[in-house]
Structure 1
């Protein structure tokens, strides 16, 4: 790369950083945490309903709609829900851009810890980007089942050379992410991403974050296992998203109780996300 190209790249990075550090952009990105909080609260609510069996009585969550797409569909069905979906979409899109900027030009060193932080930002950007896209799709009335999309992607992968290896790779990444989330919850690593809170809030925030990260980690690990099972059996129907993970939990002995606990953990993460909107280091 020539000196002129390097100078141009550095200037582009400075401009991107300046835009991401603007007050308006920060406010919008913080709204993204509120949006993810709403989505996690709804997922937790639907999972709890499924766990206690009210779905069988026809009063809310059903097997197959306890994932992100189901939560967004529930949000779209309430009065003013489309407006809320657009707020979620815009906020999470801004948060996605912010995370991408941090992943590309963030950090001042090239050591392993800096690269790990960049990888974490990329993963978080993917998650918030998916929420932004799904929210906008549901606001436009074009939302699709994430479970169906997962099965379609698995079927496409299995139909291509090396598709089984790709599915195993996806499963390994999902399991690694899930384990990482559990570790974050247990070690309290999330504290580094927050500004100091008032003393009265420290314990509630800690409890919410710990439960939330562990619950999400467990669910993501199960999703990874389901994808691995699909690869082993060459059956894309075995691959699924959160709804499949929740169904797998419910089918285990005592699984309904575990599912309720996981659902409460997702709800806890949703409330924690509201605190992140206020105290996150952005």
Structure 2
């Protein structure tokens, strides 16, 4: 790379970073945590209803089900757009952190970049899904998962691709559980007031563990879909919750996971205020 091109790249990076550090961008990104919290609260509510046997017939209990619930209430479309804008800004912020975050080139620095990029994908998906439902074009997450699995199985090496995706999901889920148990999520926060510190910590622990368990089950189902060459097994969160419910004593586990999602939703509201950005 020539000196001129390198200088231009650095200047572009500085401009992007300056924009990401602006007050309006920070406020919009923090709103993304609020939007994520709303989605997690709705998922938790639907999961608890499924666990106690009061879920509506045929309703999804995953992200798409939560967004569909929002779209159906008065003013829900406006809220969906607010969630879409907020989570999109948060995703963009994480992309900036991953690309021009100023971290070292050490292994830990690169792992942090990969983590930020992965989070950006998650929030980007929420933003895209929210906008889709706001426009009336939303679709079931389970159907999308099955379609993606079928496409993967139809390609050479598709079984190994699904097994790899399942392994990654299991690893992510275990990572969330570990984060919750070790309370390492607190590194992402500034110190909340002493009166709120314990509440925020308990919500984070319960939320990360509950969400992690669900993601592990999703990973297992994806792996089973690969081993059996059956795309119907790859059903995302919705299928994971159904799988938990069908296990012996699974109703209690399912309700506990639902409470975990509720806790994560409330924790996200605190994170909007105290997250390190």
TM-score range, shorter chain: over 0.9
Contact residue 99 and residue 121 of structure 1 kept, 8 A: yes
The counterpart of 1:96, out of the listed 70, 74, 91, is: 91
CA distance in 2, matches of 1:46, 1:90: 24
Mark the CA change 1:242 to 1:22 in structure 2 (over 3 Å): closer, same or farther: same
TM-aligned CA deviation for residue 281 of structure 1: 0.7
- 1:163-202 correspondence to structure 2 within 5 Å: 163-202=158-197
Runs of at least 4 residues off by over 4 Å: none
CA distance in 2, matches of 1:96, 1:85: 16
Contact residue 76 and residue 138 of structure 1 kept, 8 A: yes
CA distance in 2, matches of 1:64, 1:113: 42
The counterpart of 1:271, out of the listed 260, 266, 270, is: 266
Deviations 1:68-124 (A, max 9, x none): 000000011111000000000000000000000001111331112111111111111
Greater CA deviation, 182-191 or 40-49? Answer: 182-191
Greater CA deviation, 115-124 or 265-274? Answer: 115-124
Give the structure 1 partner of residue 232 of structure 2.
237
SS of 2:235's equivalent in the other structure is coil
CA distance in 1, matches of 2:5, 2:264: 43
Give the structure 2 partner of residue 145 of structure 1.
140
Greater CA deviation, 40-49 or 109-118? Answer: 109-118
TM-aligned CA deviation for residue 63 of structure 1: 5.4
| Paired residue total | 277
Contact residue 64 and residue 243 of structure 1 kept, 8 A: no
CA distance in 1, matches of 2:13, 2:220: 39
Give the structure 2 partner of residue 14 of structure 1.
14
SS of 2:60's equivalent in the other structure is coil
The counterpart of 1:76, out of the listed 61, 67, 71, is: 71
CA distance in 1, matches of 2:12, 2:168: 32
SS of 1:278's equivalent in the other structure is helix
- 1:59-74 correspondence to structure 2 within 5 Å: 60=56, 62=57, 65-74=60-69
Deviations 1:47-77 (A, max 9, x none): 000000112xxxx4x4550000000000111
Give the structure 1 partner of residue 3 of structure 2.
3
Mark the CA change 1:64 to 1:239 in structure 2 (over 3 Å): closer, same or farther: farther
SS of 1:108's equivalent in the other structure is coil
CA distance in 2, matches of 1:2, 1:179: 44
Give the structure 2 partner of residue 42 of structure 1.
42
CA distance in 2, matches of 1:95, 1:218: 25
Please, what TM-score do these two structures have when normalized by structure 1? 0.97
Give the structure 2 partner of residue 52 of structure 1.
52
CA distance in 2, matches of 1:124, 1:99: 7
Please, what TM-score do these two structures have when normalized by structure 2? 0.98
TM-aligned CA deviation for residue 172 of structure 1: 1.0
CA distance in 1, matches of 2:6, 2:167: 36
The counterpart of 2:155, out of the listed 155, 160, 169, is: 160
Mark the CA change 1:157 to 1:64 in structure 2 (over 3 Å): closer, same or farther: farther
Q: What runs of 5+ residues in structure 1 fail to find an aligned partner?
A: none
Give the structure 1 partner of residue 127 of structure 2.
132
CA distance in 2, matches of 1:4, 1:217: 47
